[in-house]
Amino acid sequence: MPSAVGPHIAPAGHAYPSSLPTVEEVSAGGVVVDTSDPNLPVAIIARLNRGGRLEWCLPKGHPEGRESNERAAVREINEETGIMGEILAPLGSIDYWFTVTGHRVHKTVHHYLLRATGGHLTIENDPDHEAIDVAWVPISELARRLSFPNERRIADLAREVLPEHLLA
């Protein structure tokens, strides 16, 4: 007697209709610190995820045109937080995967440590209106406030390397 399952088994190597195309994305951002304040506050943003949950994260965004990751980080931090900054050091990159309608995204985010050089906290300059709030958080509390483990690791690294840049 023929199996009811047998005829429906796909041969090895078959591309399933549910497999989605992959898109590579790059973003840049980081940890901008007000070094004039003894608490060493860092500017972070809040946004709502697709499920409507509030997430606190480091500011970041996509490079525009031929913009370098460093320039993109400075621009995106300024747009999303209102704070201007200068890069002190690279903090490394993180990557992760997520799915949106019709494709999977492999995203790489390059993070930098920046010293705040001016501006004031605001989300009014965010062209994408992704940020719904912005706050200064003492660097000692930063990792506890961030929503994502990979960004908490970046925060810990920033806290580790910052002292060598304060002496410069």
Coil, strand, or helix at residue 84? Answer: strand
Query: What is the average per-residue pLDDT within 94-116?
Result: 93
Res 1: pLDDT: 39
Res 168: pLDDT: 57
Res 127: pLDDT: 81
| Residue linked to tokens 């304060």 | 166
More confident residue, 4 or 22: 22
Burial of 112 (0-12, 13-18, 19+ CB in 10 A): buried
Above 70 in pLDDT, residue 99? yes
d(CA 63, CA 24): 13
d(CA 22, CA 63): 19
